[in-house]
Amino acid sequence: MKSIREQLAIAVCTTLGGIHQAHAIDNAWDIDSSYLYYSESDDRVKVNKVMLQIQGDLTDDDQASATWVLDTMSGATPSGAVRSENSSITTTSASGAGASSLNGARPDLVGFDDTRLAFLLAWAHKQNRLLTVNYGGSVSIENDYQSYGASLSFNQDNDDRSNTYTFGTSVSYDQIFRKTGGTPEPLSRVEDEIFYPDAEKYVYEVIAGISHIFNRRTVAQLNYNVIYADGYQTDPYKVISMANVVGISSDTTFSYGEIDRYYESRPVTRLRNVIFTSLAHQYGNDNEVVHLSYRYYSDDWDVSAHALDLTHRSSTGEHSYIEPHIRLYTQTAASFFIHHLEYGQPLPIFASADYRLDAMRSVTVGVQYGQTIADGKLRIRAEYINQQFEEAEYDQNRAMVFQFSYAKQF
């Protein structure tokens, strides 16, 4: 269920605090640990995630970090099928546990469970006073997805270090398969059970950016990313119904009768462009910090998205702070997103009823509290997410996020 995990990462920012730059203690090592719980309403997706990052100086010019991630996912997710009372089509759960005859069971939600173990290794080498080279590698293993990645980037400061220029590239190789093995033929009938061997995908990314220090209180950043994916992009568990309208209510809500069911089909390539900019400003005697960021996304599937993120950190004591957070997000639908296939019409080349490809609006509100405890930094975060979809069978998704983190220097 890799794509659900990617959505979660984007929506709730599950990463650790990032690479620390403080070197107050010679040869000090930083340990940052975190536990995150994510829960959707109506007993849908639940995630438990544990993260541990260790970082320290190897030499005066070399810094290394290692990150471990273990998470489990379970619950139910929309399959893409319409809610129909007359379906008798056989389906397989998203966890690949087995098949069952529906016979009116309305299998628009399918249960799943998954476990992922990931390891990331990073090394930063200072070539000279102004140039740092960063190397990275990652491995992620789960029940139906494996990913291997490598990255290389350069950070170049100008003479007075007011500007930092970044250029980097990364590549990853992914293997995709169902728990029961293989991947379904795109837009094949579910009942025909036509499967191909395990699929693969390559993802290439280039990033260029600049950060600028205006003064001791204000810093800005601008990044541009290009990501190209080539290979199997289809979700091997998602389906799409062939249906016709069997009724309409007074509030113009349609009801459908499912005639047949197909596996979805997506293009084998995807080109993405991302522009990200942020501004952080510290003000006041209590060192309050406001952080504003904007992200624009577009791809050749006709998906475009805007995200606006705002946090404001205020001191609540000598060793504590509180940081409210709000995030606004909107996106357009993919060109091949469709609620269902029309009975009697030719099959399209590409079609998906996956709600994540629908036009949507999302609001995230939350707060983080931080405090120094036992010479370490405790962080507690709670957020509420509300997503509204335009045409998907399930047009709303609500979720809560709770995260507990503790960082300490040794």
Q: Are 301 and 239 in contact (CB under 8 A)?
A: no
Residue bearing tokens 């299998």: 107
Please give the model's pTM, rounded to 2 decimal places: 0.88
Measured CA to CA, the distance from residue 18 to residue 12 in angstroms comes to 15
Sign of CA dihedral 12, 56, 33, 289: negative
pLDDT at res. 5: 43
Token couple for 85: 């009372």
Residue with tokens 């490809």: 357
Q: Which pLDDT does position 11 carry in this prediction?
A: 36
Matching residue, tokens 């290979």:
231
Can you give the pLDDT at residue 156?
Answer: 98
Residues of the chain with pLDDT under 70: 1-27, 85-107, 249-253
**C-alpha to C-alpha distance for 14 and 4, rounded to whole angstroms:** 13
pLDDT in tens, 14-32: 333 334 444 444 567 999 9
pLDDT digits 0-9 by tens, 88-141: 444 445 544 443 434 444 468 888 899 999 999 999 999 999 999 999 999 999
Residue at 71: amino acid letter: D
* Dihedral angle of Cα 390, 392, 398, 399, to the nearest 10 degrees: -120
Q: How far apart are CA 388 and CA 274, in angstroms?
A: 23
Q: Give whole-number Cα distances, 375 to 30, 57, 317, 378, in Å.
A: 12, 20, 16, 10
- Of 260, 237, 236, 255, nearest to 245 by C-alpha is 255
What's the topology of domain 2-409? Porin (2.40.160)
pLDDT at position 249: 60
Provide the pLDDT for residue 287: 82
Three-state SS for 89? Answer: coil
The structure tokens 């091949």 sit at 336
